[in-house]
């Protein structure tokens, strides 16, 4: 099991080709992919803004993500705040 972790931002989770690459690497245990609930909402909103007809697909992906990558569960919002403080 990889000890490496990566916080995947919305611009990595959407568009789909980039998301697919990173999630496949996570499935292969190259690293543990992490993202926050806010990041998840951000990429879903971008998807729906660009293609409103795809709302069902976005929701289905979210469900499949949770089932196929349980180690990739979203990190807590407090963690996101601390990460942003480090950037300052």
Q: Using one digit for the tens of pLDDT, what is the confidence trace for 34-44?
A: 888 788 888 88
What is the token pair recorded at 30? 């190259």
Backbone angles phi, psi at 33, to 5 degrees: -80, 135
H, E, C per residue of 20-85: HHHHHHHHCCCCEEECEHHHHHHHHHHHHHHCHHHHHHHHHHHHHHHHHCHHHCCECHHHHHHHHH
11 in Cβ contact with 47 (< 8 Å): no
Q: Using one digit for the tens of pLDDT, what is the confidence trace for 12-67?
A: 999 989 999 998 998 899 998 888 878 888 888 888 888 877 766 656 666 566 55
All structural domains of the chain with their residue ranges? 5-87
Provide the whole-model pTM: 0.70
């Amino acid at each position: 099991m990889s000890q490496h972790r990566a916080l995947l931002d919305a611009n990595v989770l959407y568009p789909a080709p980039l998301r697919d690459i990173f999630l496949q690497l996570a499935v292969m245990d190259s690293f543990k992919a992490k993202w926050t609930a806010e990041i998840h909402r951000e990429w879903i909103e971008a998807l729906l803004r660009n293609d409103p007809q795809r709302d069902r697909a976005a929701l289905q992906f979210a469900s499949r993500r949770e089932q196929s990558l349980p180690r990739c569960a979203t990190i807590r919002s407090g963690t996101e705040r601390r990460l942003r403080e480090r950037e300052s």
